[in-house]
Amino acid sequence: MSFKTFHLLLALMLLNTGCGVNIVSNIPATQAPQFVTATLPPSAVPPPTVTLLPPSPQPTIPPIEGTTTTQLNVRAQTSTASETLGMVDPFSKVQVTGKDPSGSWYQILYGSGTGWVRAEYVQVPAGAQIPVISDAAGSGSGLTGLVLQKINVRNGPAASYASLGVLNPKDVVFITGRDSSGTWMQIEFSGSPDGHGWAALEFLQVDGVDALPVVAEAEQPIATAVTSESTPAAVVRLVPAAQDGDSLQAPLTAGVFSAAGIRNLQIQGNVSAPEGDLEDWIQFITTGQTLSLRLSCSSGTFILELWKDSALERAFPQPCGEKQLIITQSNHTYALRLSEATGGELHITQYTLSLEAIQ
344 and 309 in a common domain: yes
353 and 280 in a common domain: yes
Q: Is the pLDDT of residue 311 over 80?
A: yes
What pLDDT, in 10s, does the model give residues 24-46?
A: 445 455 555 554 555 555 555 56
Q: How many CA atoms lie within 13 A of 276 on its CB side?
A: 25
352 and 258 in a common domain: yes
What pLDDT, in 10s, does the model give residues 51-68?
A: 555 555 555 679 999 999
**Looking at residue 43, what is its pLDDT?**
56
158 and 108 in a common domain: no
82 and 169 in a common domain: no
- Of 216, 239, 267, which residue is a domain's last? 216
What pLDDT, in 10s, does the model give residues 173-231?
A: 888 899 998 899 999 887 788 888 999 998 898 888 888 889 887 765 444 444 444 44
287 and 333 in a common domain: yes
Range of the domain at 164: 143-216
Q: Residue 90's Cα: distance from chain center in Å?
A: 23
Question: Does the N-terminal peptide bond of residue 274 adopt cis geometry, omega within 30 degrees of 0?
Answer: yes
Residue 297 domain-assigned?
Answer: yes
Neighbours of 326 (CB within 10 A): 18
What pLDDT, in 10s, does the model give residues 92-122?
A: 999 999 998 888 899 999 999 999 999 988 9
260 and 164 in a common domain: no
**Which residues lie closer than 8 Å to 124 by C-beta, 6 or more apart?**
64, 65, 66, 96, 106, 130
325 and 294 in a common domain: yes
Beta bridge pairs of residue 302:
318, 340
Residue 96 domain-assigned?
Answer: yes
Residue 309 domain-assigned?
Answer: yes
Residue 129 domain-assigned?
Answer: no
With beta carbons less than 8 A apart as the criterion, state whether 150 and 169 touch: yes
CA distances from 119 to 30, 35, 79 (A): 106, 92, 12
Nearest CA among 169, 244, 221 for reference residue 199:
169
Residue 68 domain-assigned?
Answer: yes
Residue 8 domain-assigned?
Answer: no
Q: Rg (Cα) of the chain, in Å, rounded?
A: 45
Residue 232 domain-assigned?
Answer: no
**Which residues lie closer than 8 Å to 318 by C-beta, 6 or more apart?**
293, 295, 301, 302, 303, 304, 324
CATH code where residue 211 lies: 2.30.30.40
Residue 198 domain-assigned?
Answer: yes
261 and 342 in a common domain: yes
Quote the number of domains for the chain. Answer: 3
